[in-house]
Structure 1
């Protein structure tokens, strides 16, 4: 099950122009593995994971989320169009 807080939903819409449907499409279309965001300022418990994938219409998004195995909830933290540096890093580490 997906969870998007009202604050994140607003940020996705206003700042990034991303919808929840696009995020679900990216989960469905993902080809590489999930990576862990181990940067100090982004550390969470459970860990923050991320991936890069395309929507059904070819829009490339970086999706960041926390999966809680106890509740089986995927808590979306953000999603946005990634930099080329992020795409290169994902392609190097996820495949």
Structure 2
């Protein structure tokens, strides 16, 4: 995914905390057929432009929550991790 922008600190974080790689996130975007995004409007997480998240599986059928910001034709990864039950219920 050429328009996916990932900082080294985010990549380090998702690897150290969840053993996820950039390719896992890319696969979630590729498998995200619904194109359903939820805006994170919690006060402590508000950004400009807004942060959105979705839940999708990578090619190994691992379900992940991916949070990102869309800006100027690019997608900036904020984080990715296995979703909890509350997040799954909100998304569904």
Same topology, TM > 0.5: yes
Which residue in the other structure is 2:76 paired with? Answer: 75
TM-score, length of structure 1 as denominator length: 0.90
* Whole-angstrom CA distance in 2 between matches of 1:34 and 1:58: 20
Q: CA deviation at 1:24?
A: 0.7
Which residue in the other structure is 2:68 paired with? Answer: 65
Which residue in the other structure is 1:54 paired with? Answer: 57
Which residue in the other structure is 2:24 paired with? Answer: 22
User: RMSD over aligned Cα, in angstroms?
Assistant: 0.8
**1:46 partner SS:** coil
Q: CA deviation at 1:31?
A: 3.3
Unpaired segments ≥5 residues, structure 1: none
**2:60 partner SS:** coil
Structure 1 consecutive aligned stretches of length 4 or more whose deviation exceeds 2 Å: none
**1:57 partner SS:** coil
Which residue in the other structure is 1:40 paired with? Answer: 43
Which residue in the other structure is 2:12 paired with? Answer: 10
Which residue in the other structure is 1:89 paired with? Answer: 90
TM-score, length of structure 2 as denominator length: 0.92
Unpaired segments ≥5 residues, structure 2: none
